[in-house]
Structure 1
Amino acid sequence: MITVTSRETGHGAVEVAVAGDVDAVTAAELRCVLDGLADGPGPVRVELDLTRVGFLDCAGARLLLRTEERLRARGGALAVLRPSAPVLRLLGLLGIDRHLPVGGAVGASRTGPGD
């Protein structure tokens, strides 16, 4: 089970905070929220707070890439904020941290593509 909350940040972005494990089963709930933002009017920047995600599997990683592609096609963007250590490790192993801005992770030196 996961908990997904979202709020407008006031600077043209929506922050989506996730708590729990994101796997093949629970990714569907997160996908509903992210699809709603990607399909909304106009471009949007989604800031995905993964501080409280203890586990992210390949289904969750695939969802991040799919969402980023959909947002980018509409002039928007996806950024991963404060990923937990296990999430940051997976993003690094899969090379996703080289394609998506990743910021605020403990011990992380890279904040985005090309940094």
Structure 2
Amino acid sequence: RIEELGTTVRGLERQLEAETKESSRKEQRDAAKLEEAEQQRTSLERMRQSAAEEHALEVEELKRALASSERATAAAREQMESVGHSAAVELKESQGRMESRLAEARSRVLEL
């Protein structure tokens, strides 16, 4: 009976040792998975930060482009107004010259 108990105890000890080894291997696998997940999280955080910085730079570039376009539009508008004013003045002067020539031509016709 004692031998039987000794055999049972040794069997239980071997089983306990095997389970302990398996538990240790499982802990190592879990630790490796946890480390890999942490590395992925860190990598994703870096990517997110990089994307956010790139987005901020693009927004700033768009703001600068918009401001430049607004300045160019205002300058073009001022130039168009100036050209329009100059053209109106020139047209008035031209009309005055034409009316003067027409009056001169009428007076010549009347003289004939």
Taking structure 2 as the reference length, what is the TM-score of the superposition? 0.18
- Structure having greater relative contact order (Cα 8 Å, sep ≥ 6): 1
Higher strand residue share? 1
State which structure, 1 or 2, has the greater radius of gyration over its C-alpha atoms. 2
Taking structure 1 as the reference length, what is the TM-score of the superposition? 0.17
